[in-house]
Amino acid sequence: MRVLVVDDDPLTLHMVVYRLRQWGHDVISANDGTAAWEFIEASPSPNVAIMDWMMPGISGLELCQRIRARAGVPYLYIILLTGRNHPEDLIAGLDAGADDYLTKPFHLGELDARLRAGKRIVDLQNELISTRETLRIQAMQDPLTQILNHGAILDALLREVDRAHRQRQPVSVILGDLDAFKAVNDTYGHIVGDQILIEVAERMRSCLRSYDSIGRYGGEEFLMVLPNSDAEQALSLAERIRLAVCNMPFHYKNIELSVTLSQGVTTWTEPYPFPLERLIQTADGALYLVKNAGRNGVEYAHFDVGEDEAVVPIGRPNPLLRMP
């Protein structure tokens, strides 16, 4: 573990640091609370802090309170060293945020045992953080393709439009739909269909920039969010994605087949705020045009919110009537 030792007594500081290093810990030391705080704020931060109560500048008690006031940082296990042995003093130390304490003079074997107990707490805390992050990612991911799910890609679009408004930049969206994909599932089965969806998502993702977002919008529909991209850039990218999907056959066991992709594109620049679903409806209107022109293409629709908040893309029909 990475352990911070803080004590203004040079003898105690040297003794504890020496033993901790013998026990295999990565040790950093400070002789006052101010220097200790700098170590705590630095990266990598310690896992455990062993600190004296009485120190010049920031006391051990004040340091505990500062540490516990932080938010969004890994948990720091605190062992407080003190010459005070009155119950009210120990209660005050624990209430300030210390996890454990040792009364001076202390036996080094007891310090080792308390460090092992602290390590168990630190390990559990790290496991909890890791599990929470895994659950957070799972809540955002489509379980099949491992790209963003429907809700998460809409959240990403909302964030990017808000950022684009503040930075006065455009943001484009691409709504893509695999052509006649139901026939693939009906002919080859859903296992093959699922493998194609996984590979399509990977091919799409490989065409995007690191700060673009892609999500599974529906069964075989994909929504891409392109920050700081105008219409020309978005159309160029959409065509590159289309070619990446349709130019190379898909293979699963002894099956080889090709699929094509239709995509609708639109770009937001103003107004703000506006009904977010209108932006997607505009891209969907462009997608309709591709489907009804024979599929396997890219079309752009101009995003425009009038006084009645109706979006009027080029040739906007009812997207519910578009071909699969």
Phi-psi region of 18 (alpha: psi -120 to 50; beta: other; left: phi over 0): alpha
- Which residues have C-beta within 8 Å of that of residue 224, sequence separation ≥ 6? 173, 174, 175, 176, 204, 208, 212, 213, 214, 215, 241
Strand order in the sheet with 48-52: 26-30, 2-6, 48-52, 77-82, 100-103
On whether the CB atoms of residues 177 and 287 are closer than 8 A, the answer is yes
Tokens of 266: 């639109």
Contact 267, 227 (CB under 8 A): no
How far apart, in Å, are the Cα atoms of 287 and each of 73, 94, 157? 45, 63, 18
Which residue of the set 220, 232, 239, 270 is catalytic? Answer: 220
DSSP string, 126-195: HHHHHHHHHHHHHHHB-TTT-SB-HHHHHHHHHHHHHHHHHHT--EEEEEEEETTHHHHHHHH-HHHHHH
Distance in angstroms (rounded) separating the CA atoms of residues 299 and 276: 20
Beta-bridge partner residues of 227: 171
The answer to whether 160 is a known catalytic residue is no
Q: Is the dihedral of CA 293, 297, 302, 303 positive or negative?
A: positive
Q: Which sequence positions are flagged as catalytic? A: 220
